[in-house]
Chains A and B, each alone.
Chain A
Amino acid sequence: MKSLTIKELMVPLSEYATVPVGSTLFDAIQALEKAQEEFDRTKYRHRAILILDHDKRVIGKLTQMDVLWALEPRGKDLKDIDELNRFGFSHQFVRALKKERRMESEPLKALCTKAAQLKVEDFMQATTEGECVDEETSLDMAIHQLVLGNHLALLVTRGKDIVGILRMTDVFAAVFHTMKECELNP
């Protein structure tokens, strides 16, 4: 596997779902749908949207979890509840309060309508140095980085630019393929 580079496995940025900063969550979901339609349907589906700044540089990513998080009730009350653990309140107590607040909040359809208009930058995860990997890096080193950082994907760089995404699912497929080869041709 040492001979492989991540260039062969990454999804090029041009094939990935991206939206500019200032877009709504609905824009992001539409971009995801569009990218998926244009993407090779035999491959694993995209699960995130990249957020670009005005210079078209990647500044963050929006995962499925981030979009679902936008549906969660929020406000000072919820923030206060989140802090109760440090004052010695039990997890059951905090969970029960959150459940109550969820029951008191609007139905899912109304929440989805509201959430769709929220801005991506309020929910995205900003890119960090630890999730970037140079395109010339060998695959075994990239795996090391994925595992240590507990990442689902790495952003592949060429110089200062992000040029693609190395997804865990594609890495796993490559590893699985190699295992099969070894087993069949020891």
Chain B
Amino acid sequence: MNELEKLFDRIAQRVNINLRELEFDVTPYIKGLVSFEKMVKFYAFYGVTPHHPLNFVFRHSNLAGSYFLGRCRTGNSILYKSDIRGDELKKQGAMVHYQGFDIPISKDEAIEIEDSFLIKTLVHNYSHDPETLELFFITNTISTHYANIHGSPTDGSFLGPFATVDLTTMNDCVIGAFSYIQAGEVNHLKIDPGTVWVRVPGVFNFLYRYPREALSPYISFEAGKAPRGALMDFVENRKKDFQLLFDVVNLPSSIKVPQNTSLDRFAVVKPKIHIDENVLVAQRAYLENSWLGKGANAQENCYIINSRLAGNDITAHGAKIIEADLDTTVFVGFNSFLHGRPESRITIGKECIIMPHTIMDSDEPLNLPPGHLAWGLIQNPADLEKNSIRMTDLSKVENKLSRGDLYFEGNGATFVRAFQERIHHILEANGAFFDGQKNRGHAQKNQNISFNTIQPYPEGDLQGMYPTILIQP
């Protein structure tokens, strides 16, 4: 057995030890999920920009096809085609406000990944845990295809495909496929697939759970089998389009974009694309026959096809927008799947919020009026009626709302305000409000990134392992 296989077994064992209380064995889920041949095949790469601290330490790891930006450290880990995007990490001297405390940041924050196996996972944002502000750690953790670990220090956990943990510290948890968790802190929990849970203790609690049989045609993940379903088919069918991007080192941009816009060279751009000013198109985004108005963005693993985004629209990590028309300032949450058809397009009104992990997939046209919030599984206009609410009505909820598979406790106005503030923050961070001088964000800072590649041992016992590498200014 070579070093890479030993490393794989070691990670599985460590995660199993953490999850023993939940009696969850990761081995049948991950064995053969990514072949060792593939882990050896792909190079890793990192970005160099003057806007982000440069500090990479890679030790005893396999980094096949993964991308790194900012301060990142890996040890005893396997990262397969994952994005470790450290462009929002806190800088030394910054101040964090938490429950009346002003906590100074003593050194530049780093993402540290130890004893973990991440498959096609996005790691982004910064640690929101006041106990570990300078270190965004991911330890003893396995995450599978298209999972998002977003601002969430994580230890001893397992994430199913298309699972998202957002702004949450997580210890010893199993997060089922297509579940979205934003709950501050979670410990020793086994979350069923298709759970969408947004909680601020004592303030509000939003819970939606997909009916399992209705979710499985979209995504299912069983021990011993690869993830299956329409979501997997959708991304797998477009995999080849990305191949060329990674095969060629210097690739000229396929289209001209405004000066204040960032179009990542690792994004797929297919004909008839309009990209306006202050737009951010991240790596592994996929654009085809679409219009991105001023300030719109397409984050990692997003797909925008035959659609129009009027402007200041957010397509959060992993969201897919097909045959849809979005008015301005629409938020489409993580991994949402807006699947319109040429004869039944989806129309989303101004300032709507599509909750993370929403599926809109209908043979009939769907029309969400302005100022609405939508969630869950929407397969026809009746579902849309049931799974959406005008935000002014939600703001009037003072304690309790129950509708279909949704349960909401707390103050609706606070919930709406929290989302609206976050949307504003995301647009600001992405550079949507850049006026030529002020409000510079990712769309401006992430231009002209230099990409360097690093490669593993090509053969021998260390085949697939990357030598210890330190990259500093």
Please report which residues of chain B, range 377-417, place their CB below 8 angstroms from some CB of chain A when the two chains form the complex.
399-400, 402, 405, 407, 409
Kindly state whether residue B449 has any CB partner on chain A within 8 Å: no
CB-contact partner of A89 in B189, B209, B211, B409, under 8 A: B409
CA distance A88 to B197 in the complex (A): 10
Q: Which of B211, B399, B405, B407 has the most CB of A within 10 A?
A: B407
Closest CB in chain B relative to A77 CB, distance in Å? 9
Cβ contact within 8 Å between B205 and A87? yes
CA distance A100 to B201 in the complex (A): 24
Please report which residues of chain B, range 178-231, place their CB below 8 angstroms from some CB of chain A when the two chains form the complex.
183, 189, 197, 199, 201, 205, 207, 209, 211
Beyond contacts A88-B199, A93-B399: 9 other A-B pairs, Cβ-Cβ < 8 A, are A80-B209, A80-B407, A81-B407, A89-B207, A89-B407, A93-B407, A97-B400, A97-B407, A100-B402
Kindly state whether residue A65 has any CB partner on chain B within 8 Å: no
Residue of A nearest to B399 (CB): A93
Q: Which of B183, B199, B399, B400 has the most CB of A within 10 A?
A: B400
Cβ contact within 8 Å between B189 and A90? no
Cβ contact within 8 Å between A86 and B205? no
Closest CB in chain A relative to B463 CB, distance in Å? 45
Assuming the contacts A80-B209, A87-B197, A88-B199, asked whether A93 and B409 have C-beta atoms less than 8 A apart, the reply is: yes
Cβ contact within 8 Å between B405 and A90? no
Kindly state whether residue A84 has any CB partner on chain B within 8 Å: yes
Cβ contact within 8 Å between B400 and A88? no
Closest CB in chain B relative to A75 CB, distance in Å? 13
Kindly state whether residue A68 has any CB partner on chain B within 8 Å: no
Across-interface contacts of A173 in B (CB, < 8 A): none
Across-interface contacts of B205 in A (CB, < 8 A): 87-89
CA distance A160 to B400 in the complex (A): 54
Closest CB in chain B relative to A132 CB, distance in Å? 29
Closest CB in chain B relative to A139 CB, distance in Å? 41
Across-interface contacts of A81 in B (CB, < 8 A): 407
Closest CB in chain B relative to A45 CB, distance in Å? 41
Kindly state whether residue A96 has any CB partner on chain B within 8 Å: yes
Across-interface contacts of B189 in A (CB, < 8 A): 86
Interface size on A, residues (CB 8 A): 13
Across-interface contacts of A90 in B (CB, < 8 A): 409
Across-interface contacts of A87 in B (CB, < 8 A): 197, 199, 205, 207
As a 0/1 sequence over residues 90 to 117 of chain A, the CB contacts with chain B under 8 angstroms (1 = contact) are 1001001100100000000000000000
Cβ contact within 8 Å between B407 and A96? no
CA distance A85 to B88 in the complex (A): 35
Closest CB in chain B relative to A83 CB, distance in Å? 9
CA distance A84 to B199 in the complex (A): 12
CB-contact partner of B400 in A76, A80, A86, A96, under 8 A: A96
B interface list, Cβ under 8 A from A: 183, 189, 197, 199, 201, 205, 207, 209, 211, 399-400, 402, 405, 407, 409
Cβ contact within 8 Å between B407 and A84? yes
Assuming the contacts A89-B407, A90-B409, A93-B409, asked whether A84 and B400 have C-beta atoms less than 8 A apart, the reply is: no
Please report which residues of chain A, range 138-179, place their CB below 8 angstroms from some CB of chain B when the two chains form the complex.
none
CA distance A150 to B399 in the complex (A): 38
Residue of A nearest to B407 (CB): A84
CA distance A76 to B192 in the complex (A): 15
18 contacts between A and B (CB under 8 A): A80-B209, A84-B207, A84-B407, A87-B197, A87-B199, A88-B183, A88-B199, A88-B201, A88-B205, A89-B407, A89-B409, A90-B409, A93-B399, A93-B400, A96-B400, A97-B400, A97-B402, A97-B407
Closest CB in chain A relative to B220 CB, distance in Å? 19
Across-interface contacts of A89 in B (CB, < 8 A): 205, 207, 407, 409
CA distance A76 to B405 in the complex (A): 10
Closest CB in chain B relative to A101 CB, distance in Å? 9
Across-interface contacts of B207 in A (CB, < 8 A): 84, 87, 89
CA distance A23 to B437 in the complex (A): 81
Q: Which of A86, A88, A90, A97 has the most CB of B within 10 A?
A: A88
CA distance A16 to B399 in the complex (A): 50
Closest CB in chain A relative to B289 CB, distance in Å? 41
* Closest A-B pairs by Cβ, 9 of them: A93-B409, A87-B207, A89-B409, A88-B199, A88-B205, A89-B205, A97-B402, A87-B197, A84-B407
Across-interface contacts of B407 in A (CB, < 8 A): 80-81, 84, 89, 93, 97
Across-interface contacts of B409 in A (CB, < 8 A): 89-90, 93
Closest CB in chain B relative to A84 CB, distance in Å? 6
Cβ contact within 8 Å between A80 and B405? yes
As a 0/1 sequence over residues 46 to 64 of chain A, the CB contacts with chain B under 8 angstroms (1 = contact) are 0000000000000000000
Residue of B nearest to A97 (CB): B402
Residue of A nearest to B409 (CB): A93
Across-interface contacts of B199 in A (CB, < 8 A): 87-88
Residue of B nearest to A96 (CB): B400
CA distance A80 to B183 in the complex (A): 19
Closest CB in chain A relative to B462 CB, distance in Å? 45
Residue of B nearest to A77 (CB): B405
CA distance A88 to B207 in the complex (A): 10
Residue of A nearest to B199 (CB): A88
Q: Which of A87, A93, A97 has the most CB of B within 10 A?
A: A87
CA distance A90 to B205 in the complex (A): 10
Across-interface contacts of A76 in B (CB, < 8 A): 211
Across-interface contacts of A97 in B (CB, < 8 A): 400, 402, 407
Residue of A nearest to B206 (CB): A87
CA distance A96 to B409 in the complex (A): 11
Residue of B nearest to A90 (CB): B409
Across-interface contacts of B402 in A (CB, < 8 A): 97, 100
Closest CB in chain A relative to B185 CB, distance in Å? 11
Residue of B nearest to A81 (CB): B407
